[in-house]
Amino acid sequence: MELNHLRAWELKKLLESREVSSREVLESVLDRIKSDGKSINSFITLMEDGAQKAALKVDKKRSSGKKLGALAGIPVVVKDNICVKDNLCTCGSGILKNFIPPYDATAVELLKGEDAVIVGKTNMDEFGMGSSNENSYFGPVKNPYDLKRTPGGSSGGSAASLASDMSILALGSDTGGSVRLPASFCGVVGLKPTYGLVSRYGLVAFASSLDQVGCLTKDVKDCAMLLSAVAGYDQRDSTSINIVRKDYTKSWEDDLKDIKIGVPKEYFGGGLNKEVKENVLKGIEALEREGFKTLEVSMPGTDRSIAVYYVLCMAEASSNLARYDGARYGFRTKETFDLDLMYKKTRTKGFGDEVKRRIILGTYVLSKGYFKAYYQKAQKVRTIIKKDFDRAFEKVDFLITPTSPTTAFKLGEKIEDPLTMYLSDVYTTSANLTGIPAISLPCGKDSFGLPIGLQIMGKPLSEELLLKVAYTFEQNLKR
């Protein structure tokens, strides 16, 4: 078995018993990246030198008997909207193609503190805006299961790196499904934690009330390892939740028999691909066989979530992206010395089409005459959606749904039709609107051999139990 095919928890054992070195693990990942990295296009920056130094440092620390962190020697890749000090952070955008942050994001600082080896920055839809990774300035990422298909977006580079064994762990970000959708399309695990559980400091803002750093891994145990490393209170993020740090990797074998799982009927209606539906229903039956009680619930606000999400995320994006004016960050046009014209030309050239579309629409819904009709109304409906969830969580502990209505679609299939593209997020955005944790788990394959994702959503801060339920599901699927 090649080392890059293993899980983090398996490698940890091998590293601790000194059967393998961190450098050997890194080498296996780098070899894989060198052979197929270009064709999959999952990386924007490969940090080969830095990674080699980090791996060497871990090996030296280990041989001198020093205490090592929980992820010592484990390769991790980081979505390119999360700052890694002294390395490019482009956000998949032309406007930040030269931006090198002088600091680490908190999540990255924590990874380094656990002695993880950061291997590179992964490709993504520009500023996280997209569901297919086709909105990247650096070209689309390809799905390792079929190079003609999308890996999902916007954390497509992170998910494709795992699915092609070019990394062991990956960080992504999820504003409306960007960790879960690529996880589902690439057959890996993707967790969007509770809003505020992982610090957003150093995550480049897209829509601040929805953005969350998330974990992409090859299995649930790895997800627990990665979450344990990056979750925790951070003074530098005013929305960070002040709770005691947890180790999510403990006690997998707890008795979960009293747990009730709700199946929201609105998530199984029109637009859902037949094979996805069949597989997810089989997944639910598997959990019933494990002794979980399931019951149908109704979430009438479900069909509003896409409209609400897109109004709010565009409004927030138009405000957040105002900072890219050519004066402070990244790209600046050299065509003019006139200040107004410089702003205009820099932004016209620096941003891609989808980002411009969102800035225009976001500015529109925030403008004086339309604020009440769109932005304020969307905030009200957001509260109604939240009430749906509160009501459901009075009856059940978790909700189970498909992650996406389809499996990975073909590159080019939806790019000309933004509204159809937006519908890919129909099952994922409500977890962001309500701030709850949600995980996507592999749940079989369709007749093209493409992975299907099943989503489990939980109450705020229920990650510990959510991971245990997810683990039970994963184990059942293996049998």
Known catalytic residues are 79, 154, 178
Minimum CB–partner distance for residue 385 and ligand GLN (Å): 16
Minimum CB–partner distance for residue 203 and ligand GLN (Å): 11
Q: Is 115 in the site for ligand GLN (CB under 6 A)?
A: no
Which one of 130, 151, 264, 362 is in contact with ligand GLN (CB under 6 A)?
130
Decide whether 261 or 426 has the Cβ nearer to ligand GLN: 426
- How remote is the C-alpha of 72 from its chain's centroid? 23
CB 457, CB 469: distance < 8 Å: no
Minimum CB–partner distance for residue 35 and ligand GLN (Å): 29
Which one of 150, 154, 194, 403 is in contact with ligand GLN (CB under 6 A)?
154
Decide whether 54 or 355 has the Cβ nearer to ligand GLN: 355
Decide whether 111 or 431 has the Cβ nearer to ligand GLN: 431
Stretch that binds ligand GLN, among 29-37, 126-134, 380-388, 441-449 (CB under 6 A): 126-134
Q: Is 178 in the site for ligand GLN (CB under 6 A)?
A: yes
Q: Is 134 in the site for ligand GLN (CB under 6 A)?
A: no
Q: Is 176 in the site for ligand GLN (CB under 6 A)?
A: yes
Decide whether 388 or 425 has the Cβ nearer to ligand GLN: 425
Which one of 93, 136, 175, 249 is in contact with ligand GLN (CB under 6 A)?
175
Minimum CB–partner distance for residue 96 and ligand GLN (Å): 16
Q: What is the 3-state secondary structure (H, E, C) of the chain?
A: CCHHHCCHHHHHHHHHCCCCCHHHHHHHHHHHHHHHHHHHCCEEEECHHHHHHHHHHHHHHHHCCCCCCCCCCCEEEEECCECCCCCCCCCCCHHHCCCCCCCCCHHHHHHHHCCCEEEEEECCCHHHCCCCCCCCCCCCCCECCECCECCCCCCHHHHHHHHCCCCCEEEEECCCCCCHHHHHHHCCEEEECCCCCECCCCECCCCCCCCCEEEEECCHHHHHHHHHHHECCCCCCCCCCCCCCCCCCCCCCCCCCCCEEEEEHHHHCCCCCHHHHHHHHHHHHHHHHCCCEEEEECCHHHHHHHHHHHHHHHHHHHHHHHHCCCCCCCCCCCCCCCHHHHHHHHHHHHCCHHHHHHHHHHHHHHCCCCHHHHHHHHHHHHHHHHHHHHHHHHHCCEEEEECCCCCCCECCCCCCCHHHHHHHHCCCHHHHHHCCCEEEEEEEECCCCCEEEEEEEECCCCHHHHHHHHHHHHHHHHC
Decide whether 343 or 351 has the Cβ nearer to ligand GLN: 351
Minimum CB–partner distance for residue 159 and ligand GLN (Å): 12
Nearest residue (beta carbon) to ligand GLN? 178
Geometric angle at alpha carbon 439, from 77 and 219, rounded to 5°: 55
Minimum CB–partner distance for residue 206 and ligand GLN (Å): 6
Decide whether 209 or 294 has the Cβ nearer to ligand GLN: 209
The interface with ligand GLN within residues 184-213 (CB under 6 A) comprises: 206
- Report residue 388 as tokens: 């749906």
Decide whether 75 or 177 has the Cβ nearer to ligand GLN: 177
Decide whether 175 or 302 has the Cβ nearer to ligand GLN: 175
Minimum CB–partner distance for residue 302 and ligand GLN (Å): 17
Q: What are residue 263's DSSP bridge partners?
A: 296
Minimum CB–partner distance for residue 354 and ligand GLN (Å): 8
String of contacts with ligand GLN for each residue 310-349, x by CB under 6 A: ---x------------------------------------
- Report residue 281 as tokens: 């229903």
Which one of 114, 126, 222, 425 is in contact with ligand GLN (CB under 6 A)?
425
Q: Is 128 in the site for ligand GLN (CB under 6 A)?
A: yes
Give the integer Cα–Cα distance in Å for 171 and 455: 18
Total of residues contacting ligand GLN (CB under 6 A) = 14
Stretch that binds ligand GLN, among 57-65, 125-133, 375-383, 410-418 (CB under 6 A): 125-133
Stretch that binds ligand GLN, among 170-178, 287-295, 339-347, 440-448 (CB under 6 A): 170-178
**Interface residues with ligand GLN (CB under 6 A)?**
128-131, 154, 173-178, 206, 313, 425
